[in-house]
Amino acid sequence: MADANVTRMAQVLVDYSTAIQPGDTVLIEATTLAEELVREVYRRVLERGGHPHLLLSLPDQEEIFYTAASRDEQLDFIPALHHYAAENFDARIRIYSEGNTRGLNSVNPARQARRQKALSVVQRAVFRRAAEDQLRWVSTLFPTQAYAMEAGMGWHEYRNFVFSACAVDGSVPDPVAYWQEVGRQQQKFISAFQGHDRVTLRGTNVDLTLSIRERRFLNSCGIHNMPDGEIYTGPVEDSVEGWVRFTYPAIYGGRAVEGVELTFEKGQVVKASARTNTEFLEQTLNSDPGARYLGEFAIGTNFHINRFTGNILFDEKIGGTFHLALGNSYPETGGRNQSTIHWDMICDLRTDSEILVDGEVVYRNGTFLI
């Protein structure tokens, strides 16, 4: 019999996040380590009248790929099944379930960047069709031993943490209703930004201004991510000025870069430094012209996520933080930046920090003042 938390998770993913209807074609992506959740999602999609398609991979599949792929054509190859589903299916449920979060640490960054360029074709198709309301998608995580170790927790402790962050641990009577209420509350926060122009962030680790003029804030409340809890937009590309020192490690492609500090002029990163992996930071910034511009500005609101875990799906939602993403924008926000990368970096705002919108303080020390 399935764990009740896993069953509730499947309910949220199928009934709420992707709202599966009879006749829907549904791609379910995961590694074999997530079999427990995949089984329940598969069952739930069938019960809702959908057509589930499983696309399972090995826990160490990416490590094998970079070790064994000997030709550039393999790095440049666009995964055919993933691409077909992104262009034609009605829904995609992606379940991250790695067996080794550091498996790519020794991979040449140039090879990773080249591979990422091919994979970005699939991701752009997902974003485009989602913006056109043709594809419903959600990304989530199944708690593996590897993620628990990365977060510095025992596996049972980490499972409890994950299910609590997703509100499927039995602490609320109706997880779907919970996430619907999160959406209503966050819409109030969005009202403090929408229709305005200048956003200023001040604090110990940030002195930054950017424009959100004619950009749309999106309400991230469990539709595309689970767990969730953030509001975000794509800033005007050439408007960003100032500097920020990110308080948590910036993780991308399995590599952690600590102490990242960026300086912006006319929207572009003109100076970058870090305590570790500086070469990887510079190489990623040089991936393409759009990699030095911002594709996202966001504020995390999930206070059930109260610690850094080394996984961006959780960490970008930490209540009392904001994050910036270098690279590709979400078209739904009005953002126009294009890049093969989308690298989220997180900064804490819970101490001696504030956010102003057109000169008015709307947020102080991790809390909205509305």
What pLDDT score does 280 carry? 94
Say yes or no: 112 and 207 in one domain. Answer: no
Say yes or no: 231 and 156 in one domain. Answer: no
Say yes or no: 236 and 160 in one domain. Answer: no
Say yes or no: 201 and 88 in one domain. Answer: no
Say yes or no: 353 and 207 in one domain. Answer: yes
Say yes or no: 154 and 54 in one domain. Answer: yes
Is the distance from CB of 196 to CB of 358 less than 8 angstroms?
yes
Print burial letters for 88-127: b (CB count within 10 Å at least 16), e (below 16): ebbbbbbbbbbbbbebbeebebeebbebbbbebebeebbb
How many domains does the chain fold into?
A: 2
Alpha helices of 316-363 — where are they, by DSSP H?
Answer: none
Is the distance from CB of 280 to CB of 110 less than 8 angstroms?
no
Mean pLDDT, to the nearest integer, of 212-226? 97
**pLDDT classification of 1: cutoffs 50, 70, 90:** low
State pLDDT tens for residues 347-359: 999 999 999 999 9
Q: Among residues 110, 138, 171, which one ends one of the domains?
A: 171
Tokens found for residue 197: 């122009």
Q: Of 68, 64, 66, 3, which Cα lies nearest the Cα of 34?
A: 3
Helix, strand, or coil (residue 273): strand
What is the pTM for the complete model shown? 0.86
Is the distance from CB of 176 to CB of 223 less than 8 angstroms?
no
Q: Among residues 138, 171, 204, which one ends one of the domains?
A: 171
Is the pLDDT at 55 greater than 70? The verdict is yes
Query: Residue 64, Cβ neighbours under 10 Å: how many?
Result: 12
Which range of residues forms the domain containing residue 296? Answer: 176-368
Mean pLDDT of the chain: 95
Say yes or no: 148 and 187 in one domain. Answer: no
**pLDDT classification of 127: cutoffs 50, 70, 90:** confident
Helix, strand, or coil (residue 325): strand
Say yes or no: 131 and 226 in one domain. Answer: no
Pairing of strands 25-31, 91-96: parallel
CATH code at position 63: 3.40.1830.10
State pLDDT tens for residues 317-328: 999 999 999 999
Tokens found for residue 26: 């549904």
Q: What angle do CA 302, 303, 307 make, to 5 degrees?
A: 105
Say yes or no: 158 and 86 in one domain. Answer: yes
Which stretch of DSSP H or E encloses residue 102?
none
Say yes or no: 153 and 182 in one domain. Answer: no
- Beta bridge mates, 206: 203, 244
Say yes or no: 203 and 340 in one domain. Answer: yes
Query: Residue 1, Cβ neighbours under 10 Å: how many?
Result: 4
Is the pLDDT at 145 greater than 70? The verdict is yes
Q: Among residues 147, 171, 195, which one ends one of the domains?
A: 171
Say yes or no: 235 and 119 in one domain. Answer: no
